[in-house]
Amino acid sequence: MGPEHYGPSWAQRIGESLISLRLLGRRAWLALLGIAVGCASVVALLNVGQSAASHARQMFQGMGSELMVANLTPVEAGARSARAMPALDAVPHIRLAAPLAMTVTDARLRGQGAAVMVAASTPALAQVLGLEAAHGRLLSAHDNASTYVVLGAELATRLDAQVGDRLPMGGYVFEVVGLLLPRGYNPLLPVAVDDALLMPLPGLRRLVSQAQPSVVIALARDAAQVQEAAAALEDALRAALVSMQVEVLLPRQLLDGMAQQSQLFIGLLAGLGAIALLVGGVGVMNVMLMNVAERRREIGVRMALGARPVDIAWLFLLEAIWLAVLGAVLGALIGMLAAWAFAHGAGWRLESDPQALPLGVGSAVAIGVFFGLQPALAAARLQPVVALRDG
């Protein structure tokens, strides 16, 4: 037979700690809510940050991994290109390319006037951007000398336009030959296609006599060689347009920058949650210190009856652990609900951070135990005679 076990069993310790918590009443609830708020802050903020980053990535990933946008800026104000636009389809690694010129003008339809963004390009623009006609047709190379236009989905809705309508603009009357399907916003492009009017590049000179392309939109032959294609496109444009400054943008560059910003954003939110969690931990320590001060006589009686310092320490530490665990579980539920409500209100899809729950619950329990340890050790260090006298 082994030596007789001395001291209360773990079942007794857990039961006594639960009874003590129930006797604490309102103060126990306040400490528990402090931990819950801190845990909820960590869980909610991390999930909101992850959802925001995922939403931004989805917007940027819709641009296409093979897409390139070259911005053309005059080196000097009023400078003109010394040479014509090169044959971009012949540039190495380039599958399709379309120059784009833009202006804003007023259009009238059925007595209603509106400011319209006009985007003029070649028929290749529809292939580069994947445009499709909901009604009518797209522009072709045979329309270069015509006054035909195509309207984006949002612009057509705003003007209540139909195929065959005629739009007076700049002293000319243009005929609507097509309405586009919704394309969605692409932050890489200088124009929102859904809210633009598309026309052949030569037709823009009816509105702006000195119209010049300010952007070239291109597709690489292979997504794996998009860097080489971007370099070849930049070299070809700089060689042909000597008075223009050329800058080629790639979706990958924006995605990399977005990833860095997302990590910084999530880190800041986690820091805010950690501060809230520390405040909750301080609340637990205050409640436990008051609990120890009010129960000094009980501590003295327990020690006089044979309780060891370790038994007293475990009694109060288990109370702090219970507060931390219950507060962490409640906080995790509140945090997930708050993150879902925020994402739903913002129109996002909730993207859970896989580290949110383990980090939130684990840190809440760790904070509760850490701040509950000092009061538990203080109770264990009390002398029976002093505790009975002061109690």
**Model pLDDT for residues 169-228, shown as the tens digit of each residue:** 888 899 999 999 998 877 778 888 999 999 999 889 888 877 788 999 998 888 778 888
* Beta-bridge partner residues of 136: 178
Q: Is 201 helix (H, G, I), strand (E, B) or coil?
A: coil
- Of 212, 242, 272, the domain-final residue: 242
**Model pLDDT for residues 337-360, shown as the tens digit of each residue:** 988 988 888 777 888 878 888 888
- Of 218, 242, 266, the domain-final residue: 242
User: pTM of this prediction?
Assistant: 0.57
How far apart CA 215 and CA 226 sit, in angstroms, is 18
Average pLDDT of the chain is 80
| Same domain membership, residue 100 and residue 22 | no
> Which of the given ranges, 86-100, 264-278, 297-311, 374-388, has the highest pLDDT on average?
86-100
Closest CA to 253 of 219, 221, 230: 230
* For range 42-55, the mean pLDDT: 80
How many domains does the chain fold into? Answer: 2
348: containing domain: 10-60+256-390
Asked if 359 and 280 count as a contact pair (C-beta separation under 8 A), the reply is no
| Same domain membership, residue 237 and residue 264 | no
Q: Around Cβ 381, how many Cβ atoms within 10 Å?
A: 10
Percentage of the chain modeled with pLDDT above 70: 82
Residue 74 included in any domain: no
| Same domain membership, residue 236 and residue 265 | no
Residue 247 included in any domain: no
Instruction: Report residue 300 as tokens.
Output: 């003295």
**How, if at all, do strands 94-109 and 244-249 pair?**
unpaired
| Same domain membership, residue 129 and residue 30 | no
How far apart CA 51 and CA 350 sit, in angstroms, is 5
**Model pLDDT for residues 230-254, shown as the tens digit of each residue:** 899 888 888 888 888 888 888 766 6
| Same domain membership, residue 24 and residue 104 | no
* Beta-bridge partner residues of 135: 179
How far apart CA 95 and CA 128 sit, in angstroms, is 9
Instruction: Report residue 168 as tokens.
Output: 């007076």
**How, if at all, do strands 172-180 and 133-136 pair?**
antiparallel
Residue 38 included in any domain: yes
Burial class (CB in 10 A: 0-12, 13-18, 19+), 78: exposed
pLDDT value of position 152 = 94
